[in-house]
Amino acid sequence: MKKISLFLLILFQFSYAQERVLEFKTELNQNSEVFNIVDEENDNLALFTLKGRKIEALLFDNNFKKIGHIKPLKIPNKFDIFSGYIIKDKEVSLFLSNTTKTKFSKIVFHFDSGETNFTELEIRLKEERFLGSINYKNSFFIFSLPNSSEAIKLYKYTKDNSPSTTLIDFSESNYLNENNRPIKFNDLFTSYEGFSKITDIGIMQEGQPNSIEEASKNVKILKQENQLLVNLDKNHYFTYLLQINLDELTGDISRIAKPRFGKEMNHKASNSFVLDHNIYQVITTKDALKFHIVNLKNNSVLNSHEVSKGEEIYFKNTPIVQEGGMYTSYREYEKTAKFIRKMKNLPIAITARKKGEVYQINLGSSLEVKSNPAMGMGMMGGALGGGMASAMTIGFNPMLTGYISYGYSRTVEINGLFDKNYKHIEGDIEPNIFNKIKKVSEKYGNIFAETIFEKNGNYYWGGYNNFASVYNIYKI
């Protein structure tokens, strides 16, 4: 049986013509994880294997030739989540936190000498709530929400300098909740899960697919050029858009009006998404759906589209599709009313991607999340027993986070194509990179500890082959 499985695996590799760029021997199990960092300056690849609380590090150059290796070391029990990194030549600093994200530490991997250094950072988030972390220009940023002020606090770490702290004030604006009543700035970030107040943040990526499940969250973070953008969509009449300049450490806030129907309708659901310098906003009731695109530079509406429950959806290029979930089912709906009802009653989302002069806009809602590797192993921020929890913020590998969410969430959605003026056009929707990788992963079978990344404009997928005890990385 083992020989047959190996034969089928080899046959599949040839039939799908993936180019294997890296293979190395290792011993992993089904609870192991592999994650990576790509150096934007020289395209070196740092690869980390995580087995229990032991982490092993490998460094490869731009041609996937191994240029460094650090033997497994144990990570202290107190720190369970990888939050971000700084990479410079042959030195990598990994930042970790405890599960409540109130304490932080750093491990420095010196690939030249094979040595490591562990440091517990002085930062303590006591009267503030952790929002996320990002990496920018060889710096690591932690963002928090202080309890007693209408501001966002930034902690900045660099390779050589002492950490700095900046408080960005957003108290000048008046904020409204979903009922259009005054609300505190901090409450725009929170929602309720049962009786518990939580902060659930979606991580968005430019130029890559974004899952409906992530995009349906009322708080979303996007790193765009030298800015951190935060969409706040608790209010159904406006999107509050925070813009934080990562060079100057300053902030600005905009209030962008959402689409309106001809007559006022209650019980709305809404959301937004930013691509380039435009914001895409969608709103729905039990009877109709409408979205528009607004230029953020001059606040002008570039175009809008609307459909009622008794009409055909003229701006879609795909059927109304429901897929994913517990049984990975696929189902198509014919009636617009069914789609609009799900959009109103479930978390709603809009996303967009650009290819040449064509925009692909995705509208949908997230029904549930299928049980998946991320839910126990930290990809969404939890820990697994005595093991570790991996990246859960935009500061690490958001592409892998998005891929796992994309593959395991259950959604109902449509896709449409639009020209540069956002007029609907005919055409076929190409499978995105997550679709391609998911099909490859499913065909391989007994593969785990997956990772994906982009390097030099190419996409790569990796997985552990349990039959041969090797880790392979393929160019897709």
pLDDT in tens, 305-363: 999 999 999 999 999 999 875 555 788 999 999 999 999 989 999 999 999 999 999 99
Give the pLDDT confidence score for residue 149 in this predicted structure: 85
Give the pLDDT confidence score for residue 172 in this predicted structure: 80
Query: CA Rg, the chain, in Å?
Result: 23
Give the pLDDT confidence score for residue 61 in this predicted structure: 96
Q: Strands (DSSP E) along 75-208, which ranges?
A: 81-88, 91-97, 103-110, 115-124, 128-136, 139-146, 151-158, 164-169, 191-193, 196-198, 201-204
In a 10 Å sphere around its CB, with 0-12 CB exposed, 13-18 middle and 19+ buried, how is residue 222 labelled? buried
Give the pLDDT confidence score for residue 255 in this predicted structure: 95
Low-confidence ranges of the chain (pLDDT < 50): 1-16, 371-394
Q: What is the Cα–Cα distance from 216 to 227, expressed in whole angstroms?
A: 22
Give the pLDDT confidence score for residue 262 in this predicted structure: 76
